[in-house]
Structure formats: structure tokens, C-alpha cells
Chains A and B, each alone.
Chain A
Amino acid sequence: MSLLKEADYGTPASAAEGSVTVEIDGLSTTVRAGSTILRAARESGVDVPKLCATDSLEPFGSCRLCLVEVEGRKGYPASCTTPVEPGMKIRTQTEALAKLRRNVMELYISDHPLDCLTCSANGDCELQDMAGAVGLREVRYGFDGDNHLFEAIDESNPYFTFDPTKCIVCSRCVRACDEVQGTFALTIEGRGFESKVSASMGEAFFDSECVSCGACVQACPTATLMEKSIIDNGQPEHSVLTTCAYCGVGCSFKAEMKGDQVVRMTPYKDGQANHGHSCVKGRFAWGYSTHKERVLDPMIRENIDDPWRKVSWDEAIRYSAKRFRELQEKYGRKSVGGITSSRCTNEEVFIVQKLVRAAFGNNNVDTCARVCHSPTGYGLKQTLGTSAGTQPFDSVMDADVIIVIGANPTEAHPVFASQMKRRLRQGAKLIVLDPRKIGLVRSARIQADYHLPLLPGTNVPMINAFAHVVVSEGLVDEQYVAERCDTEAFAAWKEFILQPENSPEAVGPICGVPAEDIRAAARLYAEAEHGAIYYGLGVTEHSQGSTMVMGMANLAMATGNIGFSGCGVNPLRGQNNVQGSCDMGSFPHELAGYRPVGDDAVRGTFEKIWGVELDPEPGYRIPNMFDAAIAGNYKGMYIQGEDLAQSDPNTKHVEAAFSSMEFIVVQDLFLNETAKFAHVFLPGTSFLEKDGTFINAERRINRVRPVMKPRQGKAEWLITQELAQALGYPMNYDNEAQIMDEVAALTPTFSGVSFRFLDEVGSVQWPCNEDAPMGTPIMHIDNFVRGKGLFIETAYVPTDERTNRKFPLILTTGRILSQYNVGAQTRRTDNVVWYHEDLLEIHPSDAELRGIKDGERVSLSSRKGDITLEARITERVPPGVVYTTFHDPETGANVVTTEYSDWATNCPEYKVTAVQVSPAVHRSDWQQQFEQRAKLQGKILETS
């Protein structure tokens, strides 16, 4: 094991075609045309000293260390800014250059502390390396001249410090913030010797617009911007390549280690999803894995009011198996089930669903995709033939017009948002369909061409109106449709979409958007050479979620926007492995690879390998499980890493369901809300302890590698395997790799996948099989997976959740950058400095009408329940719409939401709840009960 250091070629690879041959230090070398001399030299193994250049940033030309001599040219051109030309003769080392570089370095060091031995960057400092490389031996200017050695250190950010005394003003941090992250929070203030890196308007980093993505820290060649974890612990000694466990972008990281202690997570340059970029969660918020609240012992209690009792693994597993079998004997085979976790690896997920099907003997397995992207799976499968997005992230760099619908990438998928913003800064057009003015509508150097602030719940008429414009104005890509789509279905759809009720003029008033804006935006998309749609849960979490997904697929097909780079219909998936958990067969009606459990042939393949007979009947979906529990038919549950009690809608209903059940096993890192109803707690592992794979939103199978042993003593797959064995089902894997081998053997789209293959190639996008041995970045290239693309009529059926005089406002929910879903992890990191509680965004006019002031507590009530929270008055939401997040269990945002759900998949309608808001004096009844229960549970723990 050693420390992984990526090569730095100094400047980005040239995009030009063709090659150029030059002579560097007497040796001939051929490089890509348009390369800089610096890059050409590095590629041919010649190191030219440099400080301000790094290959993640455009050349800058400020440090003047990389100067070279070029035959026939005057002076000493900077190699980082000078492109190679055919036949150029370059010298990188001459006496004159040596002196020049040494003298430049002497100037640097005349204004730099000489504390290398006690510096946090000692051993990982480019300035130190370069001083060595140029042979600096003395500083003739002395150290009593003007300097910056006494400036104050900014420690305001929880994760890194800014020490201006060590700054060499290379601007790499500023450029990283601009070019890589796209936030433009940093600048150089002042000029000349007074030049100083400054966050926003000379503010502390914490108070500035900085989003703590870490790009500046990553880019800094000295100790000026330094992780506090390195300052505290020193430099790492080895690193392990792994994958972030937060959102569905799936960033590759180097876990940098001292023994089994993580000292830093550094984004990996060759990561295909993130290309060396990161966000505040992946880069910094990993401390939860060693948080003191993490449970490390299996625990049992007879009754949920009893104290927890620490037990051995053996006892916990034997006890669980016994109780499940008892329930099945008493209430029937189908009275128990399980939930797989989208936070876990494919291998862990696969064997949980296998346990349910093979050991429980039913199909009562579901996963959290139920409550997020199940309509994506359904809608894209129906129209295109695959339950997944069509494109790799990099495809956005070829898009000319981008539509973002019901997604807030800068908060929820920050690393992809940075890439999208880069493309937008290059000139791509942007259409945002969202009730709120999300960050992409207007931010530094980004301005949406159209923001259509439609009312929550009116996606379908909006997308129909887009399609209406396309068809009625002759913007259909007729050739594409004729060649690639089911023309009969198209003809029927065309007739449907041309109906006057789908026109922008009819739809405008329903959506609250001017018809002319809809028309203009639709034309912009339809006329683009490459039009891409990106969407999130604002599309799926509706009672018409599946309809909307099909509506987007229809629109993309009609305009010929599927099957090549720069276009597509792209779900931004929420959880690190939500794609994988679906792929692994976590749904009650589907086995791995989205094959129906009712299909005898499919079931037969599994039965053969699993050695059991499988139930042909689909099992319960999550909402059915709750309903059945309340009805008394569903009694026991094995829940892997999902906090249903906090994340699912209508909390009181969920709590009633759990209270009706007799036996619940929760496998998790923390005693979460669901664990309050559990009888057995099986401690799980964090991603840092897992060996396996995650699949991101672009179908990319990434390796997750353990950097430490399971802290609670047992790998999670082994827990499941032992539980299966205790249930009497023989499950005998030796390791995780064997589980993936079984997935590959059973799933045609995964047949080429194995740990060994992934270790070799880095990552691969499924389908990966004989037809596509290196995977499939872009889907549906020549044909749709289902054959002909299928247009499906998408009639608008409004939700039954309606506003009225009592509940006149619409509540919609979402999340913020620093927090992740139910907050179980991020609330246990320093990310809490950016978040104290869930806030209710309300438009000034709605606030004034109700006598609500900014920062005051308000009551938020719906037909389902009420909570109180703090009001934030903002024009980010339109009048009539309020918004909150669901990160904090104490707030209980889902007490208010309803269990209305998507007609096809039961994905809950989180995005539309009719509510009233009024000033509040005390916390709601539910919140008071919650507080009491939390205290009670706490007490019980202390006595255990």
C-alpha cells in the first residue's frame, strides 16, 4: 500500500486534432497538436519546474518558473502558455534558465515563512519541491523586507484553514473556484504586492459565498489552504481508491490514510464521474463513520418500551431468525418482508433481496427507490426499454440546450452541477422548470434563458404543452421518429397531443406560466442540435410521476434527442446506490435486471442457482406493507439501512404501522427513527468499511474499497448471510466478489462485470456483457432497447390533493447542499454549521398576509398533521408555494405530507401538500411527543 499521487501534466489535454513533433532537450517527441510545451514535456517524461500551472486549470502564466528557451525565439517563453509548433526546438534546462528560475524562487522565498519543518504541508508542498528542484541556497534580499508573514489565519471554515502568510498568489484557488466549481467566490483583492486571496468581499471564508467544495484546497500548492484534518494529524501514508457514499453522482475518492485512520478524502482525478472534483459532503463530511453515537454492538429488546440489551452477534442473529419463523408460522409466509438500502453496496443489497425471496419465501422486498425514482424506472422502461438514464455525465458537455426539471443540482448533485455550469458558461442555453428560483436560474455567470415557475403538480400539462408546440409547429424530427419509433403509437400520440387542451394557451393558466414563455422555451429545445433533459424528484414524486417521465421521453423522441452525446433523458438520482439497488432486484415484482418475478423462465434461472422455489406473486410495496401492517396481516420486517420513519410520507401513518408490527430488525449505523420501533438492532458498516460496488446515476459501476475493518466486527453481507443461514437457507459466499459473480451470472446486463474487471478498468457503465465488453456509456444509440421507441399518451390527471380555504398553500420539499436526506450522516458532521434546523421558505406576500416575520416560528399544518418550524421569507418561492427540507427528525416535515402517490409505482407525492401556515407559539403535539419519546429512548439506552 502506498500513497497514490496522480501525475500533473501542468495544463489540460489539448482538444485539437492531429499531432506535432518537437524536440525537447535534444530528444524528438510527438504530441497532440495544440499542447503546451509544458504538457508536451511532461508527456515525454521531462519535468519543467512549475507552480501556477496544474492540469485541472487553464494556463495562467504567472509563476514564471516554467520558462524555457525556444530556438529562434527571443527571451524565455513560459512553457505553460506557449503551444508547441512543428519542428520547435526547446530547451528546458540551460544555465540561463537555472539562474532565472533560482532568482524567481528567491523572490518567492523572500516573502515566505521558513517553517518547513513545522508546516502542515511538509512533504506535500509544491513550493518546497520547486525550491529543491531549482537549487535555491540563499535569499540575498534578507527577510526584513516588506512581507506578508504576520497576516491573520482564517479558521472560520470547519474543514480547512486559510493562512495568507503561506500564499504565493498563484491564483490556483481562485481559478479552481471559477473554472472547476463555478461559484466565483474567490478573488484576488488588491494588486501588486498587496494582492491577496479574498473570499467574496473580503469576508471570512465561512461568511462568504464559498460552498466548501474543496476545489481551492485541492488546487493549493502550499499550506495556504489546508485541511484541518491534515493540520491535526499530519500527512497520510497510504491511500485507497473508493467511491463516495452520498449522492448519485458517485464521485471517486482517494481515502488518504494513516493506518486505519482516514485523514483526508481527496477527489480522484481519473474518476470518470467527477474528474477530480468534489462537494462539501464527499470531500469533508465523512466523520460520521467514527461518530460517538454510532452503535457497535448488536442489541435486542423484547418490547419497544424495554431497554436495549447488548448481545453477541450469534444471539442477535439466532433470535431474529427465530422470531421471523415464528411470525411466519403464526401469520403466514407473507407476513414478513425486508427493505434493501440504497446506501449499501450492490452485493449487500443483492443478498438481502435474496434472503427475502429465498429464505422468507415471498417477494415482500422493496427499496427506497420506491419513494424517489420508481417512476423513472417505470416510465423509461415503458417508452425506451431501460429503467435508467440514457447518458454519461460527460455528455452534458455536448449539449446545446439543457432543460432542468424538478431538480436542484447545485444543492443536491453539486459535482455534476459544476460540470453543467461549465457547459453553460461555454454558451449552452438553459431552461429551468421549477416552482422555485433554484441556484441555476441565476448565479455567477449563469442565467437561465427561461425559468418557468410552474405550480407544483402541473408538470404533465407543461410537458404536454412543450410537445404540443413541437408537433403543431412542425418541429418533430420526422426522420428520427419514422426510423426509430413505433409509428402507429406516434400517430395516436400526435393526435392526442394536438388536442387544444394541451396547447400552451390552455395549459398556461393551469401551470401559472405565460403561454408565450412555454412556446419560446419549447422551440428553443426543439430547435437545438443537441437538447438534453435532466430531472430529479420534482418530476417523480407526484401522483403523475410516471406520466411525466413518459412525457419527457415522448418529447425527447419527438425531437430526436436520444441516442447520442449531448442529449437524452437523464434522472439525477438521489442516493449513492439507488440505481444499483434497483438493478439488483429490490422491487417486489422484479428480479435483478428488471425481469418480472412472474415470468417462469426468469424465475427458473434464479431457482436453479438459488436452489429454491420462488414465489411467482409480486410482494408488497412499501406503502402496501404499512397498510397491511395496520390491517394486521404484516408483522415482521428486516430493514437494511433505511429510515422509513423519517423519510416516508405521513409519519403518523408510518408510526402506526410500525407500532402494529410484532418484530422489526433494523440494520443501521445509528439508532435512527425507525430503530425506535425495532426489536433487534444489527449495527451496520459505513462505506469506509465496505468492499463492493455502487452504481451511480449514469449506470456506472464503481468500486467501493474498505479502508478499515468493519468497526462493529462483521461485514454487512455476512450479517445477512448468517441470518439467512439461521433461517435455514444455505448461503455460503466467501466474499463480496462471489456475490457480484452471481449477479453477473444471473443478469444479462451485468454478465461482463466482476471485481477483477472493475479493478482493471476503473469503472464501467452497464450494460456490460458480450455485446458491450467495455460497457455502454450512451444507451439507445442505433435502436431503443425495447426495439421501437414507444410514444405513450400522457393525459393529465390532477392530484386529489387540492388546496382550499383551510389549506390554501402548496408545500413542496427538497434538500440543501450541506445536508443529505434524513441527515443521519451529515447531522453527525461539522456540516451542521451550515444548518441548524429545517426552515420554511415563504413568499413575502404570503407571509405578510399571515403576519409572519422572517425568523419567527410558524405552524405548518395539512390534512395529515402539523409541525412548527422557523419561517424564512424569500422570493425564491412563488406566492402560494411554501418549501421546506426534511433533514431533521425533530422537525418532522413528513408529518405533514400525504400518502397520495404515483398511480403506477406508488412513489409518494412529497412535492404537493395543501397546507396552511400561521404564527406559532409552541411546538406541535407530534413534535412534543417526539421529544418525549426521544428522551425515553435515551434513558433506556443509559440503563442498558
Chain B
Amino acid sequence: MSATGKVKVFVPRETAAVSMGADQVAAQILALGKRGGRDIELVRNGSWGMSWLEPLVELEIEGERVAYGPVYPEELPALAAADFLSGGDHPLKLGRTADIPWLRDQNRWTFSRCGRIDPLDLEQYRALGGFAGLTKAFELGSAGVIEAVKTSGLRGRGGAGFPTGIKWQTVADAAAEKKYIACNADEGDSGTFSDRILMEGDPFTLIEGMAIAGLAVGSDHGYVYLRSEYPLARTIFSKALSIARENGWLGKNIQGSGIDFDIDLHLGAGSYVCGEETAMLESLEGKAGLIRYKPPLPAIKGLFGKPTVVNNVITLATVPEILARGAEDYAALGTGRSRGTLPFQLAGNIRRGGLVEAPFGLSLRELIEDWGGGTYSGRKIRAVQIGGPLGAYFPEELLDTPLDYEAFAGLGGMIGHGGVVVFDDSVNMARQARFAMEFCAVESCGKCTPCRIGSVRGVEVIDRIIANQNREVNLALLQELCDTMVDGSLCAMGGMTPYPVRSAVKYFPKDFEDQFVVEASEGVNE
């Protein structure tokens, strides 16, 4: 270790990175510095979203950030030997972070600061444009903010894609002494993690977005409903709330604006369906997470019976940037009625998994092949499920579909929360269809009959199909059951479980046809 002087090192404190050893890596780097007499300034930043490179260690050298990754704890001796703290060469050296194509080719709005900053450093947050959106909102006032959100074309990023500005307008127009902002951070869809990465990597953005929403609709009280499976997000976000409060960005009379707003953090209890907005409201009220019927919409009668904005983390966290950088600029991105950007998340059998924020309109193939680099196994892609466990399975031949709410809906699918799960050709789609029903059976709140009993019968019917019992009759019964669930269910849980089931039957009929094929493909499925 030849070099001397202070060096700034970034090791993400983000769940994926930590699970790959980031905490040990950070500790070892500090020890290394001590031994080598280097003064190390360790920054536990958020993740840039390049999960396949985690733990991604960065060094600040001459004002530039240089990346190494993935740096597992056992790599450190070799890295030390290569004097990586001074930017030494090593096979894991990735060069300037900003030049990594994955990152370079994105268009980041919501995640503009994520990865860059210490998530709990309020000064850095402000230095990089934080609270510019809220400050702008103070000028614009309620009507101006809502107008800007409408102009931006922002739609609900939780999955339903409802125009955010219209929802806010409804709540703003509702006459009530008390209104609430309820942020849905119960990120339960398979293959999704954008809410978590944001809350771990740039929590003030969410706080700012909620405060803006409060100002827009006339609410002084927000709740964040966070899934309990995100302990690190809880720690970081709780801390961020206290820091914001201590510095006058939450509480009474925020920054002398005359606006009051505060946020309570509430933990879920492990139920998928509590990510459905009305079940989430029930759960926030301390009740079992049962679906409420609509109407009345939560915007009219929501939390504790009061008008409530229910928005996903990403929706709320995008608003500050929209106000700061301009609603028209945001609206200029995207395609059709899908405006702006979406943080897509690549998961499943994929070589380069992680988060990609890009404007709507790129194709699924670009996302999976260009960013994702194809399957992890190296085999052929057979199916892609987009939008979580209730999303349709798309076959390889539909991969050129542009990522756009309407285009996907037209094909019986949905973009949802932007989660993309890739399967290679070893997948058995009858098993995946069964899994969809099973998932529904496990996660159904149990209130409505089609979902509560239908999902259980769905598993049984598919089992009979797989077992080659009365195949034709059971395939027909499965279709009728899907009709009953779609037409009869109280919410999307039962109402959309048929999407993956039907898409599997439609695009992969072979898997439902012959037991021999099923058995054979099971043999391959390792």
C-alpha cells in the first residue's frame, strides 16, 4: 500500500448488496485503511440498481467515481494487493461508474440520486436538487401542483396506472376536515424491488413526494405502509423521517411555508393482499387485511373513512423530480398514454438483474437482452412474466411488444409495477399455472368466494390436468373457473389470477397436453 491521504469509499447499504456481503466488505475496507494508514471516508450509499454487480464498491478519485464489482468479501485481499484504494487495476475494476453502459443508457428521474448519495445525508440530498420540488410546490400551491402532475402524465406506478393528477384532484375536491396520504410500500410482487431500492437509497425523495401530495390535496398526515420483509428499508426510512423532522422538512409549518405535514411508518404483517389499496387501508386501521368494496373510492372515503390519496412509493417519489425539472419534459418521454419513465426491474433467470429506469416504449426484448444480457442459465428464453404474480406470461415471440400500459393490456397482460421475471426453456408452464392458483390460494384474503374457494379448486383442477385425468373436461372447467374469478372476484387478486393461468394455457398449450411431455420437461428442469 503505497498511496497515502484520504480516500472516499462507497459501499452500498442496500438489501441485495448486504445479502452479498457488503457489510463485511465495508468493515474489511475500514480495517484495510487502518492497517495501511489510509484515512478512509466510508459512505454507505444506496444502490445504483445494478444488482448483479453488488456489492459494488466505488472510490472517489479526483472527483470521479470509479467502480469495482461484484466485490465479495473474499475478493478483498486480491483487491488490496492491486491497491484498489488508489484505483489500481484488477479484473473487477469497472471503470468510471457513470460510464457503465447499464447506467449510462438509462434516463433517470425517480432514481436520479439513488446510488449517488448517502441516503441519510440531508445536505447532499439538497445539493443534488432535493426539496427543489417541494419548494416549487410552495410557489405553485395546490392547484398548480395538481395541474403539473396532470401535465406530466404520471400514472400510478403500483400497477393500476390510474392518472395521478386526477386522483389528487378528487381528493383535493373532497370536503373533509381530515385527509390522508397513504403510501403503499407493500412491495409484494415477485421480481420487484424498486420501492425498496428507493427507500433504502434515497428516502428523502419519498418524504418530499408525500409532502407535496399533502400540500396538493390538503392533508397534513401521511402513512407509509411498508412490508415487514424490508427491515433495512425500515431502519433507513425511519431514520430519514427523524432527520427530516429535526430539520423542519416534516412537522408543523414546514420551512416557514405555513404547511403542516408529518408521516407515520406502519409495518405490514406479511400479507400480499395488503398491497391492494383497500386491504392496506384496513390494515392501517388495525384491522385484518380484507378487501373493501368500491365505490366509495379511497379518494372519497379512505383511511378512517376520510378522503385519502393512495399511491405507490414510485409514484410519490417521482413527483418531486417532475416539479423540479418540469412536467412537460417528463411528459415528453414515453409513448402513447404511457408518459415519462418507469423503473423496470429485471429478475428471475437473467444474467444481469437489477433496476433500469427508462422511458416507456422500449421493447421487452431490449430490456431483457440489452440490459439483462439474456438468461442466467444461457438457455433460450421461453417465457417472461411481467407485472408480478398476477401478470401474464409472454412467450418469446411477443418480446418485441413495446413497454406501454395499453399495449400490454391489449395482449391480456400488464406492466404493473414493472417487474420482469424471465424463464428459460426448462420451465413447465402447467406448473407455473398451478403456481398462480396456489399463490392466490395462499394469499387470498378470503373475503370473496371466487377467490377464496376458486383458487383452491384451480390448483386441484390443474393437478388433474397434469395427472392426465379427464383432461378435456378439466381444461374446460379451468376456463370456466377463470371466467368466474375474473367476473366475480371482489379485487384484482382473484380477478387477475386467471391472467397467468390463461396465458400459460394459451401460449404454451403443449405443457397442458400430454403427460409425457410434462414428465420429460420435469426431468430437464434442474
Contacts and interface: CB of A to CB of B under 8 A. Distances in A.
Interface stretch (A190-198, A436-444, A495-503, A752-760): A190-198
Interface in B439-495: 441-457, 460-461, 473, 477, 480-481, 483-484, 487-490
A603 to B, nearest CB: 60
Interface in A21-74: 59-64, 67
Interface string B265-289: 0000001010000000000000011
Contacts of A141: 457, 460-461, 477
Interface string A114-155: 000000000000000000000000001100011000000000
Contact of A61 (B271, B483, B490): B490
B441 A193 contact: yes
Q: Most chain-B Cβ atoms within 10 A of its Cβ — which of A67, A100, A192? A: A192
A107 B448 contact: no
A83 B295 CA distance: 9
Q: Most chain-B Cβ atoms within 10 A of its Cβ — which of A64, A82, A83, A146? A: A64
A75 B293 CA distance: 14
A64 B455 contact: no
B453 A140 contact: no
B293 A59 contact: yes
A239 interface: no
Contacts of A145: 456-457, 460
Q: Give the bracket for the number of chain B residues in contact with chain A.
A: 35 or more
A62 B456 contact: no
B449 A104 contact: yes
A64 B491 CA distance: 12
A81 interface: yes
Given A75-B487, A103-B484, A193-B441, A146 B446 contact: no
Contacts of B456: 145-146, 192-193
Interface string B194-219: 00000000000000000000000000
A62 B488 CA distance: 10
B446 A169 contact: yes
A194 B452 CA distance: 9
A187 B290 CA distance: 12
A103 B444 CA distance: 19
Interface string A84-117: 0000000000001001100110011011000000
A145 B488 CA distance: 21
A191 B293 contact: no
A187 to B, nearest CB: 7
Nearest to B444: A192
Contacts of B295: 81-83
A191 B444 contact: yes
Contacts of A81: 293, 295
B412 to A, nearest CB: 15
A775 B446 CA distance: 49
Given A76-B488, A104-B484, A111 B448 contact: no
Contacts of A190: 446
Interface string A178-216: 000000000110111111000000000000000000000
A192 B459 CA distance: 14
Q: Most chain-B Cβ atoms within 10 A of its Cβ — which of A82, A100, A168? A: A100
A634 B191 CA distance: 93
Q: Most chain-B Cβ atoms within 10 A of its Cβ — which of A99, A145, A193? A: A193
Contacts of B444: 191-193
Given A59-B293, A61-B293, A192-B443, A100 B487 contact: yes
B441 A188 contact: no
A365 interface: no
Contacts of A402: none
A104 B489 CA distance: 10
A191 B477 CA distance: 25
Contacts, number: 104
A462 interface: no
A103 B447 CA distance: 17
Given A62-B447, A63-B449, A193-B444, A188 B288 contact: yes
The B interface is mostly helix, strand or loop, or mixed, namely helix
A187 B288 contact: yes
The A interface is mostly helix, strand or loop, or mixed, namely loop
Contacts of B461: 141
Given A104-B450, A107-B453, A145-B456, A191 B445 contact: yes
Contact of A111 (B288, B443, B453, B487): B453
B480 A103 contact: yes
B484 A100 contact: yes
A108 B449 contact: yes
A295 interface: no
A195 B445 CA distance: 8
Nearest to A61: B293
A78 interface: yes
Contacts of A168: 449
A62 B448 contact: yes
B453 A193 contact: yes
Contacts of B488: 64, 67, 76, 100, 103-104
A192 B455 CA distance: 9
Contacts of A108: 449, 453
Contacts of B481: 103
Contacts of A83: 295
Contacts of B445: 191-192
Contacts of B449: 62-64, 104, 107-108, 168
Contacts of B447: 60-62, 171
A193 B293 contact: no
A76 B452 contact: no
Contacts of B490: 61-62, 64, 78
Given A76-B488, A100-B487, A110-B453, A192 B477 contact: no
Contacts of A64: 448-450, 488-490
B453 A194 contact: no
Contacts of B273: 191
A329 to B, nearest CB: 75
Nearest to B287: A187
B450 A194 contact: no
Contacts of A78: 293, 490
Nearest to B443: A192
B446 A110 contact: no
Contacts of A67: 487-488
A103 B476 CA distance: 13
A107 B446 contact: no
A96 B290 CA distance: 27
Nearest to A81: B293
Nearest to A141: B457
Given A61-B490, A145-B456, A191 B483 contact: no
Nearest to A168: B449
Nearest to A64: B488
B194 to A, nearest CB: 27
A146 B460 contact: yes
Contacts of A104: 449-450, 484, 488
Q: Most chain-B Cβ atoms within 10 A of its Cβ — which of A103, A169, A171, A194? A: A103
B418 to A, nearest CB: 25
Interface string B24-45: 0000000000000000000000
Nearest to A108: B449
B441 A61 contact: no
A107 B443 contact: no
A111 B455 CA distance: 13
A140 B450 CA distance: 15
Contact of A107 (B288, B454, B487): B454
9 closest residue pairs by CB, A with B? A195-B446, A61-B293, A192-B444, A81-B293, A107-B453, A103-B484, A64-B488, A145-B460, A192-B446
Interface of A: 59-64, 67, 75-76, 78, 81-83, 96, 99-100, 103-104, 107-108, 110-111, 140-141, 145-146, 168-169, 171, 187-188, 190-195
5 contacts: A61-B448, A64-B490, A103-B483, A191-B289, A193-B446
Given A61-B490, A145-B460, 9 more contacts: A61-B447, A62-B449, A64-B450, A78-B293, A191-B289, A192-B441, A192-B456, A193-B441, A193-B453
